[in-house]
Every structure is written in structure tokens, then in C-alpha cells.
Structure 1
Amino acid sequence: MNAKRVDKIATAVIYLLVGIVILILVALLGFILITGLPHVTWSFLTSPASAFNAGGGIGDQLFNSFYLLFLTLLISFPISLGAGIYLAEYAKKNRVTEAIRITIEVLSSLPSVVVGLFGFLLFVVQFKLGFSIISGAIALTFFNLPLLTRNIENSLNGVSNLQREAGLSLGLSRWKTVTKVVVPAALPGIITGIILSAGRVFGEAAALIFTAGQSAPVLNYANWNPFSGDSPLNIFRPAETLAVHIWKINTEGIMPDASQVSAGASAVLIIAVLVFNLGARWAGNYVYRRITASK
């Protein structure tokens, strides 16, 4: 068998495997969307959930998911940015930096349920924060830090050394070169990583079951005082997210339309994750075009 025929066979096998993966993904997404989208209405997206009666929605759970995502990124992004800059620009190749990278790899491979149990024992029990938004946000920060740190480090390493040398040759300090030259050049990759990690955090459930809780108190959207018990912004209240709500309905839901609510919530969750992933691609390309002034 000559080399050309081997190459064609190998290429066909690769295309076949890729096609199988795409087919499985399309079938999975298609089933969830076809089953769930007919139940998604404006009332379903905005009305509170119902524990016993039919007709409940996912309004509070949807708000809780976005609020937890915002707090998680607010905590994790500055830490990840600092760690990524250190590892990419300042860290020397020695045992300490190798230990840091191994720690990041180990942390990224931890199951989310382990992170949730850690958050439960430390924040809920030891620090007495209870089942609350802040406990969930801190737990998700541990879950999000490795992915975001590695993404920022890789984005910074992808910047050409010529740009660093150009900044230094103009008399800029190393810190100025990093903040004014390297980080802006790496911004498309950083933004893409932030949005992709946001999609991963948004769909997380296991870690939040043990930290943010499985209950969703009725929120008063007219009260935006963060220290009030029924305020949406109160970080010390329990918060059932959309992913946790889906899990709860499928395990112990007793409302008459549990299957319809679960299907509709699953469709909304899938759409949100797809938007995050497609948005990451669009945002990265848009920022790149703006920075490079290319069309």
C-alpha cells in the first residue's frame, strides 16, 4: 500500500470520527431543544418556581445563576490575572513554579462535587456563612481559578517577544510593558477564556448543591437593598441556580408538570451555554480586529 492511499484512508477515518462526534452532539442538543423549547415562554422565564402546583417558572433561578456567575468572575478574575501575569512574565523555571503549575493542574482535575464538599465544610460550616450566594461564589472561584489562570497564561505566552522588546526599547519599565503592551495584545484570548469559563460556571450544579443550597426564597425585585433578607442582591441568602433546579426537579420534583419544567429549564440552560461559547468566539475576533485594525 503506497503512501497516498494510506494518507487517504487516515484522512477518511479522521473525518468519520469527527462526524460521529458532531452527530452525537447535534442529536443531544436537538433532543433537549426540541423537547424543551415548546415550554419556554416569557412567563416561564420570569415567574417564580412552584413546588407543588403546575405553572411555575424559573425566574428566580435564572437570576441566581447570573448573579452567582457575576460574583464568581468578580472574585476569580483579578486573582487569575495576577497569577497568569506572574507565571507568564515573571516566574523563573524552578521547582517553585513547577509546583505552582502542578497545583493548578491538580485543582483543575478535581471533581466539582469534591470542591462542593470542601466549600460546605469550610465556608458553610466552619466560617458559618450557611447555604448562601457568597459560599457558592467562593466555591465556584476555586472551581474556576485553574481554567482561567491557565488561559490567561497561555494568552500572554502567545504574544510575540518582539512586542516586549519594543516596549523595553522605548524605555518602558517591565511592569509598564506588561500592562500597556503585552496584556492589551493578549486581550482577545483573555476575553475568550473569560466567556468560556463563564459558560462552565453557569452550568455547574454539584458544587452549588453543598454551598448555595437547594432552596430559592421568593425575591422582592422592588427591594435592591443588599442587606435586606428578600433582596435579590443579598449575598447571604440561599440561592438555587438553574442547573441545581433541574437536578432537584428530576430527583424530587412533585409538581404535576415536573417533566415540562425540567425540559424547558434544560433548554434554557443549553441555550445560555451555547451563547457563552459562540459569544466567546465572536468577542475574541471582534477585539482582535479592533486592536489590529483589520477587517
Structure 2
Amino acid sequence: MNAKLTNSVATAVMWLVGFMILGILIFFLGYILYRGLPVLSFDFMFGKPSDIQAGGGVGPQLFNSFYLLFLSLAISIPLAIGAGIYLAEYARETRLTKIVRLSTESLATVPSIVLGLFGMIIFVNFLGFGFSIISGALTLVLLNLPVLVRVTEESIRTVPKAYGEASLALGATKLQTIWKVILPSALPGIITGITLTAGRALGETAILIFTAGTTVSRYQADTNFFAAGETLAVHMWYLMSTGLVPDRVTIADGIGALLIITILCFNILFMIPLKILQKRMGVVKHL
């Protein structure tokens, strides 16, 4: 009887905690969307910003946010997948591999502002890239890599060893086994890690303030790597700290809602193919 009572109480507490977290999330998102949705319009999302007059848009900042994200992921994903495959499939349990894992975990715990200062010293000043999109993207790579490497390694390790052994027994090489058997099986976990990393990168400010700058190019969608790269999150910080426009609070509310909607759409965009992939893999396993 005591065991049943304890189990019931523990279950009730877990449900209560879950509903509390859900309630906080709904309140947080609801408040931001309530304040920001009325601000969103075509002119706001794609118009040019204003430094003094009211009614400016966030078009360049929106483009820079996605452009920086694309560049950082284009560099991070191949490196992270390669490192994860090496650690999970090739590296032996030596002191060197332990140091590599410890370094990766330590890099993941470094505050983003420290990474921003490092990026400013190396990319902005030492290499002479200035406050630019390429400086921000390369520094974001330092933020993305530790998480993606660990997620890739753990996702590969969760694949049953029987899959690889069966592939090798059929005459496939090690590379063919990794490429056609192990990676597809580990892909759901890797995609989840990419989704979490992308959401974090979209809302990053400290790194980009010191590397991409707080200004934008005079062109609406400037793909020049050395153009100024202010993003939505940085623009919100700039408005609320030193902005001179009279409607800065309204613009900040709109940016907050736009960021929330962007991240939600980004997650859905990744989750749909992930669910389809998991369903197909489930059918294959069942067969």
C-alpha cells in the first residue's frame, strides 16, 4: 500500500511540474505574441530600419539573421559530423580522445560573451575582417561545434552494433557502412541537435555584438561576407539600450514576436522531415 501511495504521489508531482512548465511557456509566448503580433506587417518585416524617425522596419536584420545562420551551419555541420564519426567509429579510448571529449564539453560551457571577445580579437582585429557577417559566422561556429559534435557522437553510439556488423558481413566497407547504414539510423538525433543549435544561434546577441556589429549594409539583402551583420536579436538589444527612435519599444515587441515565430517555423521545418524519417525507419525495423 505504501509503495502504491508513493507511486501515486510521485506521479501527481511529476504531472504538476510538467503542467507548471507548460503554463510558464504558454504565458511567456502568449505575452510576447500579444505585444508583438499587432506590430508585424509587410513593411515592418521587409522595410529598412530608421535611426531617428518612427516607423522603421527590420528587413536587413531579418536577412542577416538567416544568412549568418546558414553560413555558420554550413561550416559547423560537416565538421561536427566528421568529428562525431571519428570519435564514435574510429577513435580508440585513449588519453587523447578523452582530452578531445573534455575539450569539447568545456568549450560548450564557455559563456557566449567570452566567445564573442575571442572572435573580436581573432577575426575582427587579428585577421582584419572587421565587424562583418563572416566574423559573426565564424564565431558562431565556435558556439555550434561542441553541441553538434557531442550530439552526433551520441546519436551514432545509440545505433545498434548489429546494424554495422550485418553490413560488414555482407561485404560493405567501413566507409559504406557508416554512410549508408549508421548515419541514416543516427540522422533523427543529429537533426534534433541541429534544430536546437539553430534556435540558439538565431537568438544569440553577445557573440554578434562583438563580431558582426550593430549596423547593417545600405543594401537590403547584402550577401557580401564583409558587410555589417546586425541581426534581429542584436537590433532589439541596441534599440533598448541606446536606440533613439521614439517607437523603439514597439519595434522591440515586433522583433520579439518575429523571433518567436521564426524559431517555431524553423523547428517545424526540421521536425516534419524528422517525423517522416522516423516513421519510415520504424516501418523498416518492423518489417
Residue 112 (str. 1) matches residue 102 (str. 2): no
Deviations 1:159-213 (A, max 9, x none): 1111101110011111221112111222222222222211111111110000000
Residue 126 (str. 1) matches residue 126 (str. 2): yes
Q: Which residue of 2 aligns with 1:265?
A: 255
Name the amino acid aligned to 1:94: T
CA distance in 1, matches of 2:220, 2:10: 60
Let me know the Cα RMSD of the aligned residues.
Answer: 1.6
CA distance in 1, matches of 2:119, 2:136: 8
Deviations 1:208-233 (A, max 9, x none): 00000011122155xxxxxxxxxx11
Deviations 1:121-144 (A, max 9, x none): 111111111101110001000000
Q: Which residue of 2 aligns with 1:153?
A: 153
CA distance in 2, matches of 1:158, 1:6: 33
Structure 1 gaps of 5+ residues are 222-231
| Comparing 134-143 and 196-205, the one that deviates more | 196-205
Q: Which residue of 2 aligns with 1:239?
A: 229
Q: Percent identity of the aligned residues?
A: 47
Q: Which residue of 1 aligns with 2:245?
A: 255
Q: Which residue of 1 aligns with 2:178?
A: 178
CA distance in 1, matches of 2:217, 2:145: 29
Q: Which residue of 2 aligns with 1:224?
A: none
Residues matched between the structures, number: 285
CA distance in 1, matches of 2:218, 2:283: 48
Name the amino acid aligned to 2:104: I
Shift of 1:237: 1.1
Kept in 1, the 8 Å contact 2:48–2:220? The answer is no
| Comparing 18-27 and 68-77, the one that deviates more | 18-27
Kept in 2, the 8 Å contact 1:191–1:284? The answer is yes
Name the amino acid aligned to 2:265: V
Shift of 1:292: 4.8
Q: 2:264 aligns with which of 274, 289, 292?
A: 274
Q: 1:287 aligns with which of 270, 277, 285?
A: 277
| Comparing 138-147 and 168-177, the one that deviates more | 168-177
1:213 aligns to what SS in structure 2?
coil
CA distance in 2, matches of 1:87, 1:71: 25
CA distance in 2, matches of 1:172, 1:286: 27
Name the amino acid aligned to 2:92: K
CA distance in 1, matches of 2:174, 2:133: 39
Kept in 2, the 8 Å contact 1:163–1:181? The answer is yes
CA distance in 2, matches of 1:163, 1:31: 48
Name the amino acid aligned to 1:24: I
Name the amino acid aligned to 1:31: Y
Q: Which residue of 1 aligns with 2:53?
A: 53
Kept in 1, the 8 Å contact 2:134–2:225? The answer is yes
Deviations 1:38-72 (A, max 9, x none): 00011111101111011101100000000000100
CA distance in 1, matches of 2:266, 2:18: 23
Kept in 2, the 8 Å contact 1:191–1:283? The answer is no
1:144 aligns to what SS in structure 2?
helix
CA distance in 2, matches of 1:195, 1:35: 26
CA distance in 2, matches of 1:172, 1:139: 39
TM-score, L = length of structure 2: 0.95
Structure 2 gaps of 5+ residues are none
CA distance in 2, matches of 1:74, 1:163: 29
1:56 aligns to what SS in structure 2?
coil
Relative to structure 1, the CA distance from residue 235 to residue 24 in structure 2 (aligned partners, 3 Å threshold; closer, same or farther) is same
Name the amino acid aligned to 1:80: A
Kept in 2, the 8 Å contact 1:132–1:213? The answer is yes
CA distance in 2, matches of 1:282, 1:151: 20
TM-score, L = length of structure 1: 0.93
